[in-house]
A and B are shown apart, each in its own frame.
Chain A
């Protein structure tokens, strides 16, 4: 707890620095990543992040120490080369995109490992810092590093914000963009530059292998909640910042824990939770909706049975009789009786279930929809009368008042369904 307070009050300036750094970095990569996710190029980011390793080593060799300027430049060049190669290979060979990305990624990384081992054997004491690029270590970032990485992040965020319209066009409809005179190739080039930059600074905190998560997961998680680009970007950035801070906190509390993996775990957790509970596609949400819907269908069926009894001249139905009608759904029907009683559509008179006035109206609506749909199938879709019942059993719960009106108009307010049963309306009320 003490740690928690100490960390989150940011009284330690070095913690404050790291948190600011990881926030900027998180926003930058989530921003870029969301675009590449929407552009269906998510794995290119993975390829780039593996590919920068030789560049980092090269920067180290040239500088002789862990100088962020050299390292960023080296990494940037390596990332650029990887991006160029993958686009060249895509255009000029028959290899498929996934094969190209897997190849580029592993070859660059393998070459990076060769350089890294060679460096390690060279005995330079600074080399220990290089290993942190593989798994990332946000806590270990120096203030000078942070200035540079934070500044670059800020640049990425600014450029993306200024050219939001252009990038949106590039992702959603490049052909249209070209047609109305936008330099789409230039925009794409700029975007790739930003992506490489985001990767180069991101690996400092999260490491080469897991960088892909920082690009892909925030966007994917946010996608569960919204369809709009602006809110998508904000939400993605939010997930990214939260995970970044939580991950840093863990590696602050448990020093032997690397930051990167924990950031990824938190990010994935956000994605998983979004997937489970979001109203758009959440499994739990869908399950509840479906359950509610099924309850409604059972209620509708009970109302229909009661209405049919009314048509046959019975005022109500014995509960046991109702259970007999639905031999395998005793529990559901029991629930429906309770539900309908509560809303005042039916009442129970000594074991006989009887429709109330409002119940008759509602029951008529369901039966009317059923029979209208049957007639529609029969008249417009030319489906034989003995084949229309099942579809109507489903549609009676779904049709909206607007569609009901359309059906009535389309069928010219019919009075009989294909089975010669009356389509109930207020005027031929049975009450």
Chain B
């Protein structure tokens, strides 16, 4: 097999995005906020559309700012519903993300003549077109695919963010009260993390879509967590999974001629299921001793 630069670029970009999401996802998982991450990745949609509408371009700073603001708004709305309206957390999340996502879809339809965003693209992106979307400077210099640069920048920011705030993130995830007693601003750290998640969602939705962002936030960390009890190896394992998912996802999608993003999620799901079967307590039928079974009883 010869070196296929397009394949390399797609896999590289997928990996960069997967690692960014995975690192943030680890902390979201440890805070038991995976579903909040899911909510944010849906909720940024209206921000993207408005940013697009204002600037007239999908590649503008306005889009990122709009999405970032919406992500924070979603976090605040979930908190507000929970604290002020005393709606339980899961319902607050459900109400918030469905409303904001619905508004996003409506806005897309309203601005359809001006905003060239289609709903499917928002949901599952298309990483396959990435090699033709090049970043060319005014002097005509070709710097390669724009989205790869964005993903790289994203990973850099996420890396710096986690490096600088590592101990605060760990402490507030493990024991929020204790950190408050020490005077570490738990709320501020939380909001910063949510902002990073929103930013990561926007910077990757173009290529991989909202659903893959959700999957990459949730699945690799959950898979890695089944295998390890230490945070460092949890992060490393998540990164390793991110690479594996991108490589396998790309080639499987290529082979089956289907969505790369979707295939990456499917591969991630495969790893997760295998890990759960290996590391989970064995079900009774697995050991051969019959025990009462509770089908569908969650």
Contacts and interface: CB of A to CB of B under 8 A. Distances in A.
Direct contact between A and B in the complex (CB less than 8 angstroms)?
yes
Interface of A: 37, 40-46, 80, 83-84, 86-96, 98-103, 105-118, 121, 131, 134-135, 185, 188-189, 192-193, 209-210, 212-213, 215-217, 219-220, 223-224, 256-258, 260-262, 264-265, 268, 271, 275, 281, 283
A220 B95 contact: yes
Interface in B189-226: 211-212, 214-215, 217-219, 221-222, 225-226
B48 to A, nearest CB: 15
A220 B91 contact: yes
Given A99-B29, A111-B262, A220-B87, A257 B106 contact: yes
Given A43-B93, A44-B298, A265-B103, A107 B225 contact: no
B45 to A, nearest CB: 10
A114 B95 contact: no
Contacts of A215: 94
Given A43-B35, A84-B295, A189-B296, A264 B102 contact: yes
A193 B295 CA distance: 11
A92 B279 CA distance: 9
A404 B75 CA distance: 46
Contacts of A114: 253, 256, 258-259, 262-263, 265-266
A86 B215 CA distance: 16
Interface residues of B, number: 70
Which of A212, A224, A260, A262 has the most chain B CB atoms inside 10 A of its CB?
A212
Interface stretch (B2-10, B117-125, B148-156): B117-125
Contacts of B123: 113, 134, 209
7 contacts: A43-B94, A84-B296, A213-B95, A215-B94, A258-B105, A260-B105, A275-B85
A110 B269 contact: yes
A206 to B, nearest CB: 9
A117 B279 contact: no
Contacts, number: 229
Which of A43, A93, A110 has the most chain B CB atoms inside 10 A of its CB?
A110
Given A99-B29, A261-B106, A268 B85 contact: no
B99 interface: yes
Contact of A192 (B95, B225, B298): B298
Interface in B267-284: 268-269, 272, 276, 279-283
B214 A95 contact: no
B205 to A, nearest CB: 14
A264 B94 CA distance: 11
A98 B35 contact: yes
B105 A106 contact: no
A285 to B, nearest CB: 12
Nearest to A271: B95
B296 A188 contact: yes
A95 B225 contact: yes
**Taking chain B's interface residues, is the majority helix, strand, or loop, or is none over half, making it mixed?**
helix
A110 B270 CA distance: 11
A311 to B, nearest CB: 44
B116 to A, nearest CB: 15
Contacts of A113: 123-124, 211, 259, 261-262, 265
A324 B272 CA distance: 73
B112 A95 contact: no
Contact of A89 (B94, B280, B296): B280
A103 B218 contact: yes
Contact of B266 (A90, A111, A185, A192): A111
A265 B106 contact: yes
Contact of B272 (A103, A118, A258): A103
Contacts of B29: 96, 99
B217 A88 contact: no
Which of A89, A91, A102 has the most chain B CB atoms inside 10 A of its CB?
A102
B60 interface: no
Contacts of B109: 256-258
Contacts of B175: none
Nearest to A38: B88
B242 to A, nearest CB: 15
Given A106-B219, A107-B265, A265-B103, 19 more contacts: A42-B90, A43-B94, A45-B94, A87-B294, A93-B276, A95-B222, A98-B34, A101-B34, A101-B35, A102-B219, A109-B211, A114-B256, A114-B263, A118-B257, A131-B120, A189-B295, A213-B95, A220-B91, A261-B102
A111 B264 CA distance: 9
A110 B211 contact: yes
A216 B298 contact: no
B53 interface: no
A98 B91 contact: no
